[in-house]
Amino acid sequence: MANSISSEDHALIRDARYGEHAFLKDLDRSFFSPRTPVILNCCSDWRRRFEILRKHAEVRRIESNEDSLCHAFHWHGGPLRLDPRSPTNRIPRSHEVFTAEIVDAAVEVTTIEEVDLYFHWPCGKAFLHGMDVRQAFTSIVIVKKRLEHILPQRCRVRVFFHVDFGDLEPGGMRSYFVKTSGAKAWLHRRR
């Protein structure tokens, strides 16, 4: 199975980052208070997960030899599985299982007040179910809104996007903060 970015998706990602209505922001330390513990959800992808976690710890000012202060959930597709209509869920209503895990962590198991959702591209699980990057952006907007509705108000939900450009761009892998209000407007314009 192909596990690289199509030219169509590459063009969309570039527009989301550099276009007139860009909503992807390069991830840096300005997005985080130092050393704040987080509930983290990202894909289990064995080729990209380490880089996602490494970068996430670095921008939160956690040393490479320290615990990452993450209550972490890794499953195929990461937060895309939390979308009630996600094609990545083979079993009906299984998004509820994944959502319940996040809610339990935020409400019952920890006192952590930040939930960081990382989706990524190319994602083998998304490819397996025929998704393109536009569908992934659509899903993540739905997921964020839904989690914000379900979780107590003290919890902040934020979305991040990791891209492995491979040979398409120098630098290979990049991480972005996703401004979901911007993503929603961008998706609306591209209907």
Q: Site residues (CB under 5 A) for Zn ion?
A: 43, 45, 123, 125
Q: How far is the CB of 149 from Zn ion (least distance, A)?
A: 25
Annotate the chain with three-state secondary structure. Answer: CCCCCCHHHHHHHHHHHHCCCCCEEECCHHHCCCCCCEEEEECCCCCCHHHHHHHHHHHCCCCCCCCCCEEEEECCCHHHHHCCCCCCCCCCCCHHHHHHHHHHHHHHHCCCCEEEEEEEECCHHHHHCCCCHHHHHHHHHHHHHHHHHHCCCCCEEEEEEEEECCCCCCCCEEEEEECHHHHHHHHHHCC
Taking the least distance from each CB to Zn ion, the nearer of 10 and 125 is 125
At 28, the amino acid letter reads: D
**Structure tokens belonging to residue 69:** 């202060």
Q: How far is the CB of 78 from Zn ion (least distance, A)?
A: 6
Q: How far is the CB of 77 from Zn ion (least distance, A)?
A: 6
Q: How far is the CB of 107 from Zn ion (least distance, A)?
A: 27
Taking the least distance from each CB to Zn ion, the nearer of 55 and 125 is 125
User: If 0-12 CB within 10 Å is exposed, 13-18 middle and 19+ buried, where does residue 136 land?
Assistant: buried
Taking the least distance from each CB to Zn ion, the nearer of 61 and 166 is 166
Q: How far is the CB of 120 from Zn ion (least distance, A)?
A: 6
Taking the least distance from each CB to Zn ion, the nearer of 39 and 131 is 131
Taking the least distance from each CB to Zn ion, the nearer of 43 and 62 is 43
